[in-house]
């Protein structure tokens, strides 16, 4: 499993669609209805910006993005694998 960060960036006129998308994903996660192998760890909204960062555990970026594409987002999405190099209390 990989730790994957997904950055969502949208225009003002796309905000409602983005929030509906986020609510749908949160509901699926809380009801344990996400596809097998996908685990939503967090959703963070940037203050005063049209940006959100989601943290996932998934087999690969490709699998996660192919799954997200089924929900038909219309805004910019970037995904990448992150390798933790420091965590307070673990050095």
Is 72 a member of any domain?
Answer: yes
Q: Is the pLDDT of residue 20 over 70?
A: yes
Is 88 a member of any domain?
Answer: no
Distance CA 40, CA 4 (A): 10
Is 20 a member of any domain?
Answer: no
pLDDT in tens, 28-87: 999 999 999 999 999 999 999 999 999 999 999 999 999 999 989 999 999 999 888 888
Containing structural domain, residue 44: 2-14+33-81
pLDDT at 22: 94
Q: What's the mean pLDDT in 8-30?
A: 95
The total number of structural domains that make up the chain: 1
């Amino acid at each position: 499993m990989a730790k994957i960060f997904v950055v969502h960036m949208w225009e003002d006129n796309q905000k409602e669609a983005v929030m509906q998308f986020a609510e749908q994903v949160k509901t699926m996660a809380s009801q344990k209805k996400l596809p097998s192998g996908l685990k939503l760890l967090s959703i963070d909204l940037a203050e005063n910006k049209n940006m959100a960062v989601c943290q996932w555990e998934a087999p690969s970026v490709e699998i996660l993005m192919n799954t997200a594409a089924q929900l038909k987002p219309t805004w910019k999405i970037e995904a990448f694998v992150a390798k933790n190099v420091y965590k307070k209390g673990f050095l």
